[in-house]
Amino acid sequence: MTFSRSCPSTKPLLRVLSGERVDRPPVWFMRQAGRYLPEYRDLRARKGSFLDLCYDPEAAAEATLQPIARFAMDAAILFSDILVVPHAMGQDLHFAEGEGPILAPTLDATDLDALDPRLDRLEPVYRTVALVAAALPKATALIGFAGAPWTVATYMIAGRGSRDQAAARTMAFRDPDRLQGLIDRIVDVTVTYLSGQIAAGAEAVQLFDSWAGSLSPVEFERWVIAPTAQIIGSLSALHPDIPIIGFPKGAGTRLPAYVLETGVDAIGLDETIPPEWADRLLPPEFPVQGNLDPLALLAGGGALKREAARILFTFRDRPHIFNLGHGIVPQVPIEHVEQLLAEIRA
């Protein structure tokens, strides 16, 4: 297996994803468009619900571009949500204030075939990508994304997020064939969805597997690694020059197997992964992304400087994209983001 792609681009992020080391690691943050930004809060107040914002191409493009305008990040990531895929597969979706996303009917009680797929619901997302691609600075890359099948399935089965993903994990043991059928359908729609983003202008894509850490090693192999490998195989056949970043949050010691068996071009590390351990076990030229604790960014000051310096030093000899170990939290002061970017760019 090769861990690099040819990359004629001069964009730093794409060069790193192709396996090249650059003088300064490119930087972007998960959830960099969000509530910590006053301009995002103003936009949200004007546009109403979160889902309405996701499906309004002009507004979603504005949200995507806000952190680029303010901070000159090296990459923009599409403003959307992983649950537009189950919405396109036929579940109703709404975001309840204080509760988060709600999907209905839940698939622990309803058969998937009872749903009426509406893949046209994804069209506004593609328009958002096209608008952002046309507006970005020449040196800034555009990242598309989707939820990985296991994480998306946990929401579809339970109808909402949960601390332990018990409904999906129980189905995995009690009725694995039924879960496999759901996973297979999610794989197919995800390939279509990411391919549409790429056709609209995405230059790299990321698979978010936020609940990968809830599975045992054997279940992780079946429900995280195998479907991710299917998506990457299909997507790479359609778009061989587009790099794919995997982010299996909570993978822990299963991280090397994920890298070797899925075919990802880069790996996002969450904050629980020791950088030194990852650097030692992963192939030397394999690109890594991460992995500052979001709460270190919230804390700021000396702690932020020390943590950033440790990550930068550890990954100095490999292709590295500086990022957080998960999404930026809404309470982060703008000044702390500016402090961190100054440390990285120094």
Which of 36, 40, 126, 155 does the annotation list as catalytic? 155
- Contact assessment for residue 122 and residue 84, using Cβ atoms and an 8 Å cutoff: yes
Q: Which amino acid is at 137?
A: P
- Contact assessment for residue 321 and residue 266, using Cβ atoms and an 8 Å cutoff: yes
Q: Is 160 a catalytic residue?
A: no
Q: Is 31 a catalytic residue?
A: yes
Q: Is 44 a catalytic residue?
A: yes
Which of 15, 36, 40, 44 does the annotation list as catalytic? 44
Q: Is 24 a catalytic residue?
A: no
- 65: how many CB neighbours lie within 10 A of its CB? 20
Which of 5, 35, 127, 310 does the annotation list as catalytic? 35
Residues 6+ apart with CB under 8 A from 232: 244, 262, 263, 264
> What ranges in the chain are assigned the alpha helix state H?
12-17, 38-47, 50-54, 57-71, 84-88, 123-135, 149-158, 166-174, 176-200, 217-220, 226-238, 255-262, 275-281, 294-299, 301-314, 334-345
Query: Strand, coil or helix: what is 87?
Result: helix
Q: Is 81 a catalytic residue?
A: yes
Which of 81, 265, 270, 279 does the annotation list as catalytic? 81
- Active-site positions read 31, 35, 44, 81, 155
